[in-house]
């Protein structure tokens, strides 16, 4: 899961990023409203945590611009503006949740997990497809009674494939989502990771396979027979 943090309080933003990364999320940070909007418009994020009072563009304006552009990424407003009118205003603009500062990191993490579960309709922290179960807590993939650990990026690739099972995901999308849209990662990097994953799925006897769509990307499916 990839999260965007948009807040001009750098120390706080960086501290939140550390905690989220410790909880196995990928995180990008932006420190003003315009930069945050530029990042968010790439539509590669599963959740946006958005401050209100920021230079260049306030959070409410960012949120309004996103919704006007058809970007429906869940947004958690994180702000010192705690008046009821501010909360209602944020929710009416399309925010999915509103948490006032100061806050506890535990509550923030719980709110984030709740929004992500709602977005992906998770059952706990597990995803399933065919004979596979992905365990987000432990980065494990299981087939029947056999399990094997996945590296962080291997797991993120499998997570994307499972959530879009049957749909082709192009290589650019993988790079933007996992490495970041300004990353210098190349297509052969994805190919290497997919090769590793295929070997692991084979080792646990799964009938699920990652199919290559030449010149485009990959799609998750099941072997015939």
Among 120, 143, 158, the domain boundary falls at 120
Query: What mean pLDDT comes out for the span 141-152?
Result: 92
Q: How confident is the model at residue 112 (pLDDT cuts 50, 70, 90)?
A: very high
Specify whether 56 is located in the same domain as 137.
no
pLDDT above 50: residue 194 = yes
- For residue 164, the model assigns a pLDDT of 86
Among 120, 139, 161, the domain boundary falls at 120
Specify whether 162 is located in the same domain as 182.
yes
Least trusted range by pLDDT, from 79-83, 120-124, 194-198: 120-124
- Look up the pTM and report it: 0.67
Query: What mean pLDDT comes out for the span 57-72?
Result: 92
As for how many domains the chain has, the answer is 2
- For residue 123, the model assigns a pLDDT of 42
| Alpha carbon 137 to chain centroid, angstroms | 15
pLDDT above 50: residue 122 = no
What is the CATH number for 45?
Answer: 3.40.50.2300
* Residue 102 CB neighbour total at 10 angstroms: 6
* Domain encompassing residue 109: 2-120
What is the CATH number for 191?
Answer: 1.10.10.10
What percent of the chain is modeled with pLDDT above 90? 58
- For residue 165, the model assigns a pLDDT of 87
Q: How confident is the model at residue 225 (pLDDT cuts 50, 70, 90)?
A: low
Among 120, 150, 181, the domain boundary falls at 120
Specify whether 14 is located in the same domain as 110.
yes
Q: Chain-wide mean pLDDT for the chain?
A: 89
What percent of the chain is modeled with pLDDT above 70? 96
Specify whether 95 is located in the same domain as 142.
no
Query: How does pLDDT run across 199-223, given as a tens digit for each residue?
Result: 999 999 999 999 999 889 999 998 8
Question: Do the Cβ atoms of 213 and 167 come closer than 8 Å?
Answer: no
Map the chain to HEC letters: CEEEEECCCHHHHHHHHHHHHHCCCEEEEECCHHHHHHHHCCCCCCEEEECCCCCCCCHHHHHHHHHHCCCCCCEEEEECCCCHHHHHHHHHCCCCEEEECCCCHHHHHHHHHHHHHHHHCCECCEEEECCEEEECCCCEEEECCEEEECCHHHHHHHHHHHHCCCCCEEHHHHHHHHHCCCCCCCHHHHHHHHHHHHHHHHHCCCCEEEEEECCCEEEEEECCC
pLDDT above 90: residue 114 = no
């Amino acid at each position: 899961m990839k999260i965007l943090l948009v807040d001009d309080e750098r120390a706080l933003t960086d501290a939140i990023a550390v905690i989220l990364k410790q909880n196995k999320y990928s995180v990008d940070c932006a420190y003003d409203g315009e930069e945050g909007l530029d990042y968010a418009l790439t539509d590669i994020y599963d959740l946006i945590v958005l401050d209100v009072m920021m230079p260049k563009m306030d959070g409410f304006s960012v949120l309004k611009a996103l919704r006007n552009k058809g970007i429906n990424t869940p947004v958690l407003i994180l702000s010192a503006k705690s008046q009821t009118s501010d909360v209602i205003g944020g929710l009416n603009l399309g925010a999915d949740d509103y948490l006032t500062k100061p806050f506890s990191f535990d509550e923030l993490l719980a709110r984030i997990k709740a929004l992500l579960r709602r977005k992906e309709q998770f059952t706990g922290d597990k995803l399933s497809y065919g004979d596979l179960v992905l365990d987000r807590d432990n980065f494990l993939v299981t087939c029947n009674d056999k399990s094997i650990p996945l590296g962080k990026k291997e797991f993120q690739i499998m997570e994307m494939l499972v959530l879009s099972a049957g749909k082709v995901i192009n290589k650019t999308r993988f790079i933007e989502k996992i490495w970041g849209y300004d990353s210098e990662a190349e297509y052969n990097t994805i190919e290497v990771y997919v090769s590793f994953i295929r070997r692991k799925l084979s080792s646990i006897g799964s009938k699920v396979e990652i199919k290559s769509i030449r010149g485009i990307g990959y799609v998750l499916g099941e072997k015939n027979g």
